[in-house]
């Protein structure tokens, strides 16, 4: 069967492993769930050891006897980004993984001087928010003498037999501590958040190599970790979005909307990856998209999100019902963490199907809120993530966006993006996105109806906001 890269995509609720050959063909897959816990309102945690075990289970499922003849040449990682792990120098976790959705530090962030916010924006392109890593790192360090890192750091640490403490540059750019122009930790930002440099991993470019495996069940020792990307960044890489106006949207527990830009901009800019040069992107992060569908399915007593979407498809519209899923506040472009969820527009004729349809619409509306802010507009939108399997959601997205939506034909785009970077690093000719097939959804909603729906949505969002727009 030839050579293959083992790509691991560690996400919020699942770990996936994918065997990928040099032509981008998937030779084997495996997955395992990862539990989330919410011990208090706004607290979102995972167990670091459980997260690691889920990766091992996914790898074991992927490396079945059917793939035993594959020659593994290396590992590529795609990981959830802003979540934070703390561990002792002996490699033992010192507390829970603080998830990217966790808002326990929101009040602390709100009390920071405005000068810190200005500094963060100038150095990182981001804004101070509890979603990002630095406040979570500070919370862990206040309670233990630990090494801290994002999920890629934790996986590298474990894959290498606890020998390496490293972080990939794109993941580092999401911490609020990394100067994305100087491409190093910022002393000013470290001081502002009270995070000692000695606790942080060393930063490496995305394709620089991150050590070799040691003592990993099911894998040979000495297997190189070739490339690492943050999951949303890996999806943009895998989708072949290389020009401004080419937008990718990843539909997961939350959603990420990204488009490349020419050079660094202070507002909403992130470092997508660092190879021979830095590649920057504008990004907007949605806190609750897939999570909103799951919540609504549970509310309506449905077994899963598939049942919710099927119910939503039985009505032509939500008939004025609007769900604003601000369960942990609003992310981009509103950034109001004090906002709370609301279900509006109901009357005596409202049915469960209308509520289900409102949940589907809410995912698409939130994407449009971000794309409306992109300078120069959207030329095309490429979609990935589990929710793209829904024909209804993809058509709704095209209708509200008034642009074609191309849904990737494979669900593992983030893993494939990381694998493609690894193969490129090894010297292979890739460009897999150009050969991939897509399901294309053309907009078919008239302008007046679209404007009415967007106005209803904007009014509902305004009604739940606490901070002024």
The reported pTM is 0.89
Whole-number pLDDT of residue 92: 92
* Residue (of 459, 368, 421) closest to 74 by Cα position: 421
- Is the pLDDT confidence value at 302 over 90? yes
> Among 14-28, 260-274, 280-294, whose mean pLDDT is lowest?
260-274
Q: What distance in Å separates the CA atoms of residue 213 and residue 219, rounded to the nearest whole number?
A: 8
Identify the residue whose tokens are 């290396």: 74
pLDDT, one tens digit per residue, over 12-37 is 889 999 999 999 999 999 999 999 99
pLDDT, one tens digit per residue, over 376-392 is 888 889 998 888 889 99
Whole-number pLDDT of residue 149: 97
- Is the pLDDT confidence value at 72 over 80? yes
Identify the residue whose tokens are 């981001």: 126
- What b/e readout covers 234-265, taking b as 16+ CB neighbours within 10 angstroms? bbbbbbbbeebbbbbbbbbbbbbbbbbbeeee
* Residue (of 399, 307, 311) closest to 354 by Cα position: 311
Token digits for 465? 């906001």
Q: Contact 177/134 with Cβ under 8 angstroms? A: yes
pLDDT tier for residue 66 given thresholds of 50, 70 and 90? low
- Is the pLDDT confidence value at 304 over 80? yes
Kindly state the average pLDDT of the residues 62-89: 90
């Amino acid at each position: 069967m030839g050579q293959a890269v083992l790509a691991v995509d560690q996400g919020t609720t699942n770990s996936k492993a994918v065997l990928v050959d040099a032509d981008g063909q998937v030779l084997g897959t495996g997955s395992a769930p990862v539990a989330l816990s919410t011990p208090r309102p706004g607290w979102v945690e995972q167990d670091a050891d459980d997260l690691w075990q889920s990766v091992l289970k996914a790898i074991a499922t992927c490396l079945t006897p059917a793939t035993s003849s594959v020659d593994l040449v290396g590992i590529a990682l795609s990981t959830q980004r802003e979540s934070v792990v703390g561990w002792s120098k002996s490699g033992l976790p010192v507390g829970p993984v603080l998830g990217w959705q966790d808002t326990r530090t929101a009040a602390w962030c709100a009390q920071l001087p405005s000068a810190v916010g200005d500094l963060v924006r100038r150095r990182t392109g981001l804004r101070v928010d509890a979603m990002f890593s630095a406040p979570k790192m500070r919370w862990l360090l206040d309670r233990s003498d630990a090494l801290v890192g994002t999920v890629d750091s934790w996986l590298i640490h474990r894959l290498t037999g606890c020998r390496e403490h490293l972080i990939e540059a794109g993941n580092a750019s999401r911490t609020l501590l990394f100067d994305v122009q100087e491409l190093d930790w910022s002393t000013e930002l470290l001081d502002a958040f009270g995070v000692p440099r000695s606790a942080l991993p060393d930063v490496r470019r995305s394709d620089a190599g991150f050590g070799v495996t040691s003592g990993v069940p099911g894998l040979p020792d000495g297997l190189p970790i070739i490339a690492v990307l943050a999951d949303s960044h890996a999806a943009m890489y895998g989708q072949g979005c290389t020009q401004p106006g080419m937008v990718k949207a990843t539909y997961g527990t939350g959603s990420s909307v990204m488009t490349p830009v020419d050079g660094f901009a202070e507002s909403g800019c992130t470092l997508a990856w660092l190879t021979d040069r830095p590649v920057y992107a504008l990004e907007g992060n949605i806190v609750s998209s897939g999570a909103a569908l799951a919540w609504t399915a549970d509310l309506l007593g449905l077994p899963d999100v598939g049942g919710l979407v099927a119910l939503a498809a039985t009505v032509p519209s939500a008939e004025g019902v609007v769900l604003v899923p601000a369960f942990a506040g609003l992310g981009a472009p509103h950034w109001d963490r004090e906002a709370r969820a609301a279900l509006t527009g109901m009357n005596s004729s409202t049915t469960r199907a209308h509520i289900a349809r409102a949940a589907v619409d809410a995912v698409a509306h939130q994407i449009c809120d971000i794309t409306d802010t992109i300078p120069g507009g959207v030329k095309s939108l490429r979609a990935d993530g589990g929710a793209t399997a829904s024909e209804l959601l993809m058509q709704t997205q095209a209708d509200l966006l008034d642009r074609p939506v191309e849904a990737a034909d494979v669900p593992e785009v983030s893993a494939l993006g990381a694998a493609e970077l690894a193969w490129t690093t090894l010297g292979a000719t890739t460009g897999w996105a150009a050969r991939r097939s897509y399901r294309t959804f053309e907009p078919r909603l008239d302008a007046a109806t679209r404007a009415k729906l967007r106005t209803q949505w904007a009014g509902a969002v305004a009604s739940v906001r606490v901070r002024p727009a």
